[in-house]
Amino acid sequence: MPLAYNFAYLDEQSKKMIRRAILKALAIPGFQVPFGGREMPLPYGWGTGGIQLTASVIGPDDRLKVIDQGSDDTVNAISIKAFFKKTAGIAITEETRAATIIQTRHRIPETPLQKGQIMVFQVPIPEPLQFIEPKKSQTVKMHGFEEYGSMHVKLYEDIAKFGRIATAFDYPVQVHQRYIMSPSPIPKYDNPKLHQSPAIHLFGAGREKRIYAVPPFTDVVSLDFEDYPFELEQWDGACAVCGSQNSFLDEIITDDKGTRVFICSDTEYCRNNAGKSNP
């Protein structure tokens, strides 16, 4: 059956415009490039930015993987996969290694990314300075003049309140020693995966109409204090399903008596890992 839409839904002019924004974003790592975000057939906040990026970079030979909270089979992931299957007729995969484009909402897969792969992030709030300076006219200047000192106020507030840096996701990073970037809703556990990654990382904010990017092999450093360095989350136990001790674990409550288990958030990694340990 012939496709009822233009390939990957967006018209070619829109894709061209978005690709130009992507190229600019890759040329200035971490810089938020404004783009003419299109109306997509799903509500803002459900990944309109990410879908537009994917639609613009995808080709007929690509293999797409979509994850939501690390999982391949949640509603958002399923819907976006169905969308591209219908509008682009491309191959869908759950294998991180096999995928050429991975669209994600909250996680970077545990399986290390490779050269040639593209990560597409759905970003709700692209502006990391928003917390400290609500005026957009000012944040633009702060980025332009590299006035980033007050970014640490957020971390200061954390330490003053909780005795440690309690920011657990959307933890601000400095890209290529220049722009401060919001890695958006990924947990800080995934921040180090951005550093010197061989893959391309594209970030799309549909409502805010901003695109930014981390090109391959770029320095991505998480902000911290000299006496309170950046730290990763740690768990006491291992994954209840696959036994992995070095993956991001979700806490799942199993009954109404407070029983809980910890399970890998990355379902594909967990499945592969479980297969390895119990053949």
- Touching other proteins, residues 183-222 (CB under 8 A): none
37, 47, 70, 239: which is the annotated catalytic residue? Answer: 239
270 is catalytic: yes
Rank residues 109 and 172 by Cβ distance to other proteins and give the closer one: 172
The residue assigned the tokens 């890209």 is 175
Q: What DSSP character marks residue 81? A: H
Contact pick of 225, 235, 253, 260 for other proteins (by CB under 8 A): 225
Alpha carbon distance 249, 235 (integer Å): 8
Distance of alpha carbon 13 from alpha carbon 32, whole angstroms: 21
Q: Residue 239 catalytic? A: yes
How far is the C-alpha of 213 from the C-alpha of 149, rounded, in Å?
Answer: 22
| Residue 185 CB coordination number (10 Å) | 18
CA dist 143 and 120 (Å) reads 23
Which one, 7 or 156, has the nearer CB to other proteins?
A: 156
157 binds other proteins (CB under 8 A): yes
Q: How far is the CB of 230 from other proteins (least distance, A)?
A: 12
163 binds other proteins (CB under 8 A): no
| CA distances for 83 relative to 9, 64, 78, 80, 107, angstroms | 9, 11, 9, 5, 21
- Is there binding between residue 44 and other proteins (CB under 8 A)? no
Q: What is the largest CA-CA distance in the chain?
A: 62
Q: 275 catalytic, yes or no?
A: no
Nearer to other proteins, 152 or 271 (CB): 152
**Interaction of residue 230 with other proteins, rule CB under 8 A:** no
Active site residues: 30, 239, 242, 264, 270
Residues that bind other proteins (CB under 8 A): 132, 141, 144-145, 147, 149-153, 156-157, 159-161, 225-228
